[in-house]
Structure 1
Amino acid sequence: MESTKLNRRDWLKSGLLSIGGLAIAPHMSFGETPRVFPNTDKYGDFLYSPFFKEHVTNKPFAEPKALLAKLNANENPHGPSPKALEAFKDSAVKGNRYAWRELFDLMEKIAEKEGVAAENIMMGPGSSDLLEKTGMVLFLDGGNVVSADPSYMSLIRVAEATGASWKRVPLKNDWSHDLDGMEKAIDADTKLVYICNPNNPTGTITDGKKLEDFCSRVSDKVPVFIDEAYLDFMPNDVQKSMVSLINKGKNVIIARTFSKIHGMAGLRVGYVVAQKEMLDKLQKITRGGMGITYPSIYAASASMDDTAFLEKSKKLNTESREHVYASLDAMGMDYVKSYTSFVLFPIELEGKAFLKMMTEQGVGVRSFEIHGKNYCRVSMGTMEEMKIFSKALKKVIV
């Protein structure tokens, strides 16, 4: 066993074991997350845990161009910002150059926004890349990761593929994280606690003050990774980042992305904020920022300055979400109140059949089984797309 661990570490350090070597593959339904191949049940659905699985159709989803409303990947239909597009276009001519100086400039800009030092920032091509790198590096010698179930699976799947075990703690009845249960689950082999807030696929939040107290206390024992990909969609009165804990010396890692509110999912820019010692540990094996293109760096910087676009993006997302609520109310259907760019709601139909029927209507969505009950997760598109979704859903559930 010890020889296996050493070989794994040597392969990673030599660059021979990449994300591809860990059997990462695109999700067949064109989702937002590359994943390690999960276990499947006898129906071919993806089994994430005894409580949580994803329904998968027998055939891959239609390509985006074949869908009237592509609402299965939590993409922002309103972006990128016009200023970001202009910056991308203007800088593309220098795409023959490496962009290290420009990347450092972006890191300085992000650090100023977050109120930390630039040495606390590590860049990556999207936040999922950084989640996965953390999962690889921290679990070279095994150990376990504690997280909620269900939650975003990117870090968990890579950690398991690297050699970790997953200690899953079911969400509470209100869909918030069971922080007490998670703290009790920590043992001598725990290498990381992972929290997605707002959570995916539920769209729910855990109280900011309670989470801050938890992170402050628990990070003295084990690193805590807080994934804040959807933070910018939250109302200002409940929006609370854990970045403030960095200047208090706490061993936390906070992930942010340009894929959501900035509408740059295809341009691939994200970052984590962490203590320098943690980032040094990650970058001994993997290089932060190496996968970001020259024009994407300029686009990200320009998007940060386009506050009017960011505010409009949030407003339009909220309007689409309210439309979904109203449509579900009119159909007599329940839903989980969301603080993100997607809504989860229970369905009576079997998941595969539901996906097939929605796809036949030209609408791409996702379907999960959580604690034995079927759910649909619909991403927020344009208002036109949401109206197409509502019309299709009404036909399917009748």
Structure 2
Amino acid sequence: METRKINRRNWIKTGVLTAGGVLAAPYLGFSKNSELPLQLDANGDAIYSPFFKEYLPKNLREFPVLAAKLNANENPYGPSPMALEALKNSAAGGNRYAWKELFQLMDKIAEFEGVERKNVMMGPGSSDLLEKTAMVLFMNGGNVVSADPAYMSLIRVAEAAGGTWKPVPLKDDWSHDLDAMEKAIDDDTKLVYICNPNNPTGTITQHEDLVGFCARVSEKVPVFIDEAYLGFLDDGMKKSMVSLISEGKDVIIARTFSKIHGMAGLRVGYAIAQEERLNKLQKITRAGMGISYPSVFAAMGAMDDSKFLDSSRKLNAECREYVYQSLDQMGFEYVPSYTSFMIFPIEMEGKVFLEKMTDLKVGVRAFNFMGKDWCRVSMGTMEEMKLFTQALGKVLV
């Protein structure tokens, strides 16, 4: 196995502070010549843990034209009409920094979340906030406890900064094994990270179990709950951990405008935490400095567009149901999803599967975990999902 890892001292010295961020994007930066905290096997695939790897295309620097781009969990319906109108109206102010306007957005978010502005920290997408958290907490070592498989952005940066990962396999029902995660905490644990609903599996851990876990464990170490996909649940806000903030718990909740709001390219996200915790994070960042003036206005417009959010949620569910039915007809099993993507096992080596699907102009992701190869497909428009199922029938059936 070939290991490519950057030196922590040089990493900090040269300011390569977002090395793991490219891992959040499909294949960007996945190069054998890049200095990433990434392990590659002999076939050039990414090894995350002994039980979790991702198949990567042979040529990582080529981005073929796709008829259905279903590999990045992007919302095909956004940005919303109100967000677009706000973006257009504010574009001429793009020569200005958005300090006052950013505070207005933070006030709006604080009211929506039921917290105070001091509990809100902005960032250009939630991945940036995950990574900044990892930089602050793991510069002097320590370990992060999370599920396996998990969303890797925070974990890769924690390793680049000098920390280690303690992966805990998901349970048979694909939920987080909270008991095992709690037992995995030791004197060197600096953070527990939970993505709920989880990426790349699309599965969820029950709200009541997670609330109790976070309340209890946060008395020992901070708990980071990544809620990027919670908006796709009909009662998503009721499933949030944000209520623990008012109880004084040391939890960090991350949200993004990239998913249900359909603003992935506009880069707006935020974290909610105790003021003391955010002050520690902001020692190395000016929080919302990376958010453009027009994006701030777009985010405020998006928050007001409840009609778009309802429509986006409904269309996503319809496409997901269509894929379920199509997979049933083709004889595939699948894992029920609570997100804008889903996974199902494939009877083909993942790298070959990627190549064959790409040849048919359909982009997906392929992983190996739980001893099987899996396809992860994002929900696009209904037209795109029909292209996907047609391609799948040609490749696997």
Deviations 1:63-112 (A, max 9, x none): 36x11100000000000001111111110101111100000000000000
Report the CA distance between 1:371 and its aligned residue.
2.4
- The DSSP-based 3-state class of the residue aligned with 1:73 is coil
CA contact (8 A) 1:62 1:359 kept: no
1:191 aligns to what? 190
Between the aligned partners of 2:297 and 2:284, the Cα distance in structure 1 is 27
Between the aligned partners of 1:150 and 1:57, the Cα distance in structure 2 is 20
1:48 aligns to what? 48
- The DSSP-based 3-state class of the residue aligned with 2:288 is coil
Between the aligned partners of 2:299 and 2:345, the Cα distance in structure 1 is 36
Report the CA distance between 1:18 and its aligned residue.
3.7
- The DSSP-based 3-state class of the residue aligned with 1:90 is helix
Deviations 1:285-344 (A, max 9, x none): 222111000000000000000000000000000001001100000001000000000010
Deviations 1:16-41 (A, max 9, x none): 52425x47546784579999441011
- Matching of residue 17 in structure 1 with residue 15 in structure 2: yes
2:181 aligns to what? 182
- The DSSP-based 3-state class of the residue aligned with 1:303 is helix
CA contact (8 A) 1:27 1:33 kept: no
Q: Which residues of 2 match residues 75-94 of structure 1 at below 5 A?
A: 75-94=74-93
Deviations 1:352-397 (A, max 9, x none): 1100110011100000000220000000000000000000001111
1:311 aligns to what? 310
Residue identity matched to 1:230: Y
Report the CA distance between 1:162 and its aligned residue.
0.2
Q: Percent of aligned positions with the same letter in both sequences?
A: 65
- The DSSP-based 3-state class of the residue aligned with 1:123 is strand
Any unmatched runs of 5+ in structure 2?
A: 1-6
Between the aligned partners of 2:61 and 2:374, the Cα distance in structure 1 is 18
Between the aligned partners of 2:387 and 2:71, the Cα distance in structure 1 is 14
1:294 aligns to what? 293
1:379 aligns to what? 378
**TM-score, normalisation: structure 2:** 0.94
Report the CA distance between 1:178 and its aligned residue.
0.2
When residues 152 and 304 of structure 1 are mapped into structure 2, their CA distance, relative to the original with a 3 A threshold, is: same
When residues 303 and 237 of structure 1 are mapped into structure 2, their CA distance, relative to the original with a 3 A threshold, is: closer
Alignment length (residue pairs): 388
2:3 aligns to what? none
- Matching of residue 333 in structure 1 with residue 306 in structure 2: no
- The DSSP-based 3-state class of the residue aligned with 2:225 is strand
Between the aligned partners of 1:131 and 1:283, the Cα distance in structure 2 is 13
Q: Which residues of 2 match residues 65-144 of structure 1 at below 5 A?
A: 66-144=65-143
Deviations 1:36-66 (A, max 9, x none): 44101111110000000000121238636x1
- The DSSP-based 3-state class of the residue aligned with 1:385 is helix
Deviations 1:226-263 (A, max 9, x none): 00000011232895000000000000000000000000
Deviations 1:136-166 (A, max 9, x none): 0011110000000001000000000000011
2:144 aligns to what? 145
RMSD of aligned alpha carbons: 2.1
Any unmatched runs of 5+ in structure 1?
A: none
Between the aligned partners of 2:118 and 2:236, the Cα distance in structure 1 is 30
Between the aligned partners of 2:283 and 2:396, the Cα distance in structure 1 is 53
- Matching of residue 249 in structure 1 with residue 248 in structure 2: yes
**TM-score, normalisation: structure 1:** 0.93
Between the aligned partners of 2:395 and 2:319, the Cα distance in structure 1 is 20
- Matching of residue 265 in structure 1 with residue 264 in structure 2: yes
